[in-house]
Amino acid sequence: MGLIVQKFGGTSVGNIEKIKHIATRVIEEAAQGNEVVVVVSAMGKTTDELVRMANEISNTPSKREMDMLLSTGEQVTISILTMALLEKGYEAVSFTGWQAGIQAESIHGNARILDIDTNRVCEQLSAGKIVVVAGFQGVDTSGEIMTLGRGGSDTTAVALAAALKAKRCDIYTDVTGVYTTDPRFVKSARKLQSISYDEMLELANLGAGVLHPRAVEFAKNYGIPLVVRSSIEQEQGTIIEEEVTMEENLIVRGIAFEDSITRVSIFGLTGRLTSLSTIFTTLARQHLNVDIIIQSITDTGTTNLTFSIKTKDVREVLNVLESNKKELQFERIETESELAKVSIVGSGMVSNPGVAAEMFAILADAGIQVKMVSTSEIKVSTVIPDKDMVQAVETLHVQFQLDERMVVKA
């Protein structure tokens, strides 16, 4: 018994039939005597369709009006799901973001949740109702509708779980849990029973794509156990929490990877140090994400700078660099594409300093050249040739014994 928050994403609520199915998943929890709050996204392609309509009017539609437009998507889903619950004989009520008391920053299209006034939700839970809340949206202090940006519905669910002191927040998705690595590429990838917030954060940031990093951070800050599980399959998912059981306490818990990476090297920098911050600030402002950064001083006193970017951003990055050439005072730029990033993640690394060295040895044994390296307390990232990516992941997966545990079954 307790309060559970469930979140169903866009593909889980893709059509009326799927919504009817979701209703049964909601009722399963309610029938066990739990109080249930459900957070849903817009149905399937609804958001794309609304964006298409806006683009027929303008190439640069007002962000405020986009929020007004897009927030209707979740409002449709909450009413349809609530009707489905009522039809099955369960008391239920839907709330938009503003009705659910979700107070957000005044940043259209990318607001963060600031606070939640849970009065209305609590009142309905006390009355024995399932409460269905629109994800992805909130309202600012002037009563303006704000959307939360990508992964916003995950954040809504976790924030509601925190505000309502839920015992668990279940994120229903189209995968059955968090895997040691991407099972589409590595056959022996297996589902993890549990993973820590920090490990999940590293994996999420590395593009594992199951959960939005902001939602994981929120859960970590408020100590809400998160479960990633399938909206279709009944099997048990992966629990994300602070303390991960010893049985699962592998040194390396997951391997993330990403292709289409380009290395950019700037040679013979003689500009002032402030020009470095200028360049990264400028790139950030253009939403050009720079990942691994390596700086080295040469014998002649000039600086060489290397960083990795997404290959699709190469042209824009080079434009920004060239237009700042005068201030930066560099000799030449070199780029290398067809690279990939492969990272191992695991909180066990903190107390095992040899893990990075072991990774390099494994890659060297496989004849894979490491072009760049970056390490954090629970992660080692390497940049290697694109063509070697899958082999690297498979080899690391075996060598770090990620394939040896039994697959966790419900």
Between 54 and 366, name the residue whose CB sits nearer to a second copy: 54
Burial (0-12, 13-18, 19+ Cβ within 10 Å), 274: exposed
87 binds a second copy (CB under 8 A): yes
Give the interface segment with a second copy, choosing from 82-90, 297-305, 325-333, 387-395 (CB under 8 A).
82-90
Answer yes or no: is 313 a known binding residue: no
* Alpha-carbon dihedral sign for residues 17, 13, 256, 193: negative
C-alpha distances in angstroms, 270 versus 265, 274, 327, 362?
Answer: 14, 11, 10, 38
Give the CB-side neighbour count of residue 304, counting CA atoms within 13 A: 12
Draw the binding track, 21-60, toward a second copy (x: CB under 8 A; -: no contact): -----------------------------x--xx-xxx--
Say how far apart CA 367 and CA 387 lie, in whole Å. 12
Between 44 and 254, name the residue whose CB sits nearer to a second copy: 44
Answer yes or no: is 243 a known binding residue: no
Contacts 24+ apart (CB under 8 A), 351-355: 352/251, 355/251, 355/252, 355/380
236 binds a second copy (CB under 8 A): no
In the bound complex, what is the minimum distance in angstroms from residue 7's beta carbon to a second copy?
A: 19
In the bound complex, what is the minimum distance in angstroms from residue 62's beta carbon to a second copy?
A: 5
C-beta separation of 261 from 339 below 8 A: yes
327 binds a second copy (CB under 8 A): no
Strands (E), 63-190: 92-95, 102-104, 113-116, 130-134, 137-139, 145-147, 168-173
Among 14, 21, 61, 103, binds a second copy (CB under 8 A): 61
| Residues in binding site for ATP | 7-10, 173-174, 179, 184
State the residues that interact with a second copy by CB under 8 A: 16, 19-20, 50, 53-54, 56-58, 61-62, 64-66, 68-69, 71-72, 75-76, 78-80, 82-84, 86-87, 93-94, 96, 98-99, 120, 143, 145
